Amino acid sequence: MRFASILRAFFVVAFAAACSLTGHERLMLANATQVTIGYMAVDQELAARIDPAPETAAANFDGQTVAAGQEVEVRPAQIEGYREGKPVTLFIYRISGDRATFARALVAPGGTSRITITPQALGL
């Protein structure tokens, strides 16, 4: 009986540890501007090989926009080439109507990060 209790406790601790491996990583993107922004999140090493389009359709950012004054969580499934704990490059676009114009690229360190897009960052 005592062995079963110890075994049960071991599995609870092991399960909790396994769940926390990815639970600590979190990337928040806040928009402190008066315009909607679109973003493309990419592993930093992969981003080095990407030349972002200067302008594209706003529809290309379906599910990857942040309204003025809002904040969103960028989930690992939204990060192209995601590798836990590694830096992420965010390609930021200003959205106006049905067009999106490239504004800048920002790097978020691995782990827990909060990136705030300011008017200055967008050249506004």
Residue 16 pLDDT more than 60? no
For 104-119, what is the mean pLDDT?
A: 90
User: What mean pLDDT, rounded, does the chain reach?
Assistant: 82
Q: Are 37 and 93 in contact (CB under 8 A)?
A: yes
Question: Which DSSP helix (H) or strand (E) runs through 113?
Answer: strand 112-117
**CA nearest 107: which of 42, 32, 37?**
42
Q: Is pTM beyond 0.75 here?
A: yes
Residue 99 pLDDT more than 90? yes
Interior angle at CA 38, CA 76 and CA 117, nearest 5: 90
pLDDT digits (tens, 9 = 90+) for 57-82: 999 999 999 999 999 999 999 999 99
pLDDT for res 110: 83
Beta bridge partners of 13: none
